[in-house]
Amino acid sequence: MNDQHPDERTRIREAIDRLLAGQAVASNGSLTVVALAAEAGVHRMALMKRHADLKNEFYERVREETKQIPETEKRLRETVTSLKRTIANQRAEIEELRRLVTNLTLASAVLTEEQSTSTDPAPPPDNVILLRPPTT
């Protein structure tokens, strides 16, 4: 498929060289696939699909020649860091909720035990009407 578009491939390679040299003509000069596609005069999806090898070559050259991390990789790293932080927070919250459930279960058991061992049942509040009279 790449053999059918030799002109595009040549333009992309020239655009890579211009962007890395800092001599952008048709784009904003950023080291991204969008700028590369604009600089080469090809559609971005053509670059992503038909010329994926050139896109990968571009990012590899960006990494090697400029010692920079591509913007997409920076965003991904930031997202991963944020997600790791979120996961850690959620794990801490889950542990806190587990402790709370354990404490509430124990408190409920103690109250139930106290209520069942009590000989004098507490009189019902004034606003409660008993359906069955209390057994004595």
Q: pLDDT of 8-52, one tens digit each?
A: 899 999 999 999 888 888 888 888 889 999 999 999 998 889 999
Same domain, 81 and 23: no
> What pLDDT is attached to residue 1?
46
Q: Between these two residues, 128 and 87, which has the higher pLDDT value?
A: 87
Q: CA 49, 79, 63 angle in degrees (round to 5)?
A: 55
Same domain, 39 and 85: no
Mean pLDDT value across residues 78-100: 97
Taken in order 25, 29, 35, 40, the sign of the CA dihedral is positive
- Domain hosting 91: range is 71-110
7 found inside a domain: yes
> What pLDDT is attached to residue 27?
86
Same domain, 58 and 88: no
Same domain, 63 and 82: no
Report the alpha-carbon distance of residue 38 to residue 31 in Å, rounded: 11
DSSP 124: P
Number of domains making up the chain: 2
Same domain, 57 and 75: no
Alpha helices by DSSP H, listed for the chain, are 6-21, 33-40, 44-49, 52-66, 71-117
61 found inside a domain: yes
Q: Is the pTM of this model over 0.75?
A: no
